Amino acid sequence: MTKKVLTILIIICIFSLQLSVGVFAERDHMADTWVGNDALGRRLPTNEQVGDRKEEKYVGIFYFLFMNAEQGRILDDSKVFAEDGGEAVWD
């Protein structure tokens, strides 16, 4: 009885894995059609304004993490690098 149950469970697992392959397949998220604006009314440029995708061009996305709220001051990383070297930022 136990072997039958185990065999059935294995078959179900294999079958469910086969079904889920399509879910995780790479797909086009159509990021070239996204639009957006912020609270100040600034809008993302459209394809008509910037043109088609350019080879060997990359976009950097910058964001700020505030993990140490009690620090209460903003550091200029350029000055810290110049004065103490790159490792000082992580101290």
Looking at residue 16, what is its pLDDT?
Answer: 73
CA 53 vs CA 28, 31, 45, 86: distances in Å: 15, 11, 13, 34
| Residue with the two structure tokens 């179900």 | 12
Per-residue pLDDT reduced to its tens digit, 34-64 = 778 888 888 888 888 888 888 888 877 776 6
> Whole-angstrom distance between the N-terminal and C-terminal Cα of the chain?
61
Question: Cα-flanking dihedrals φ and ψ of residue 43, to 5°?
Answer: -115, 150
Residue boundaries of the structural domains of the chain? 60-91
State both tokens at 45. 């440029």
Per-residue pLDDT reduced to its tens digit, 5-23 = 888 888 887 777 666 666 6
Q: Model-level pTM?
A: 0.32
pLDDT at 88 over 60: no
Q: From CA 61, how far away is CA 70, in angstroms rounded?
A: 26
Looking at residue 80, what is its pLDDT?
Answer: 75
Q: From CA 53, how far away is CA 4, in angstroms rounded?
A: 55
pLDDT at 25 over 70: no
